Amino acid sequence: MTTALSPTRRLSSPSPAGMPRRRQCSPVTAQPFPVTQTSLPVDVTVRTLADFFRPGHATYLACASVHGTHSPVVAGTRPQVVQSLAQWISRRPELVRSPRPVQVRLHPNSSRNNWFPVDARYLETGFASAGLIVPGVLTSGEYDTTTLTALAGGVPDTVTLVGTSGRIPAPPKFRKVLAGRVRRTEAERHRHRFSIRARYTGKWWSDPRRPLLVSDYPDLDERPEHIDVYTDASCVPGSPWSAVGISCPDLGVVASTVLARPFIKDSAYIRVAETAGIAAGVMLFCDSARSVTVHSDSRPALRWWADTGKIPGCWSELRTFTAHEKDSHRNVDARWVKGHADCVGNLWADRAARLSLHSARWGEDERVRREKFGNLAAEFRQR
């Protein structure tokens, strides 16, 4: 039986009535791009002034201008002048009303040898640490008339007396400067060199919580030919406390400090403390005379000083610092002296070391330690 097939239905396009309706949308207005804040143009010029504070040393002078108004000419070290300019810029009314980026242009000075004493990267880092928004510093090849005219004078308007203090610098203190170059007397030069030595000695060897205490340096019209320095140490074995005392009867100077933690580690040893005392005494008095003799009552510490390679590896920082002091100062000689005998210098060094050790061991206030050291220094001068 034959069955007839039904004809295939042809697919037709859907009816417009069956299609979903389009939603009528309101015309979309194109949104404009966000407008960026306009940057504040700042022009900076830096130069150096030789022999202003000290003979043979250069001082940085800097000046900035915003819209033709220049800042006071500041003088000091490189970080000091950068932070002073940054604080002057941050106090501008344009930035106080609305914070915005700062477009800094570094211009050359009129010097033939050093056009840019401060490079653009250092200037950008210093401004950014002060809280300014600095996308970058451009180095220009053209002079800025406003700042260059302000820097033309030989004497700056203000001198900064403080340095950087963390990411946000402290407000600088200013001191007016008299016209002309500052000249120091011979006694002031010797005292200034000794103060620098004392600062670095405390930075290397002292505990930051109990810094190095040094009595006043005498007024010397000329540098001595030879001085004797006496060092002594005191510690509590097995404890984290070690102290060093230094005395120089020829100059009437006594010093006392608590050793830093890297030289003590977890347990104090008298040999380590005595070796650190010798190195600290060399660093403190190496420039005070043409030849210096350091006396110590510890023979093991003197053997370590004679051959710094014998210091064990666990005291690597002590070995490095001691070797540096020995190799850097050839005018220093180390000798043994009988301790706690009739040697006046050794007795005063022992008293100074015990003073700081007692203060650190019993947790005395730093003000009390300074007061006790002041009394000790007064007795040492009047001996």
What CATH number does the domain containing 313 carry?
Answer: 3.30.420.10
Q: Model pTM greater than 0.75?
A: no
Q: Quick one: pLDDT at residue 129?
A: 82
Indicate the residue among 133, 152, 175 that finishes a domain: 175
Q: Quick one: pLDDT at residue 370?
A: 93
Same domain? For 325 and 219 the reply is: yes
Identify whether 23 is part of a domain: no
Contacts of 193 (CB under 8 A, 6+ apart): 287
Same domain? For 44 and 146 the reply is: yes
φ/ψ of residue 284, rounded to 5? -75, -40
Q: What CA dihedral angle connects 238, 233, 329 and 218, to 10 degrees?
A: 150
Same domain? For 236 and 162 the reply is: no
Identify whether 6 is part of a domain: no
Same domain? For 98 and 219 the reply is: no
Identify whether 15 is part of a domain: no
Indicate the residue among 144, 175, 206 that finishes a domain: 175
Give the model's confidence band at 60: pLDDT under 50 very low, under 70 low, under 90 confident, else very high.
confident
First to last CA, the chain: 145
Q: Is 36 helix (H, G, I), strand (E, B) or coil?
A: coil
Same domain? For 160 and 191 the reply is: no
Model confidence pLDDT, tens digit, residues 326-381: 988 888 999 999 988 888 999 999 999 999 999 988 888 999 999 999 999 999 98
In DSSP notation, 286-327 reads: TTSSSEEEEEES-HHHHHHHH-GGGS-GGGHHHHHHHHHHHH
Structure tokens at 17: 């009535």
Alpha helix ranges (H) inside the chain = 78-90, 93-97, 120-129, 145-150, 186-205, 270-285, 299-306, 316-328, 344-361, 366-381
Cβ-contact 156, 84 below 8 angstroms: no
Same domain? For 268 and 149 the reply is: no
CA distance 100 to 131: 11
Residue of higher predicted confidence among 25 and 279: 279
Same domain? For 250 and 306 the reply is: yes
Q: Quick one: pLDDT at residue 346?
A: 93
Same domain? For 335 and 359 the reply is: yes
Cβ-contact 348, 357 below 8 angstroms: no
Identify whether 5 is part of a domain: no
Amino acid at 142: E
Model confidence pLDDT, tens digit, residues 219-244: 888 889 999 999 999 988 878 889 99
Same domain? For 231 and 258 the reply is: yes
Domain count, the chain: 2
CA distance 123 to 136: 9
Same domain? For 60 and 149 the reply is: yes
Q: Quick one: pLDDT at residue 155?
A: 58
Model confidence pLDDT, tens digit, residues 2-38: 333 344 444 444 444 444 454 444 443 433 333 345 7
Indicate the residue among 175, 208, 230 that finishes a domain: 175
Identify whether 266 is part of a domain: yes
Same domain? For 199 and 156 the reply is: no
Identify whether 29 is part of a domain: no
- Give Cα 337 to chain centroid, integer Å: 38
Identify whether 19 is part of a domain: no
Same domain? For 285 and 363 the reply is: yes
Q: What is the mean pLDDT of residues 234-260?
A: 91
In this model, does residue 88 exceed pLDDT 80?
yes
Identify whether 12 is part of a domain: no
Full residue range of the structural domain in which residue 240 is found: 186-381
Nearest partner of 380 among 372, 279, 281, judged by Cα: 372
CA distance 28 to 39: 32
φ/ψ of residue 330, rounded to 5? -85, -10
* CATH code of the domain in which 150 resides: 3.30.420
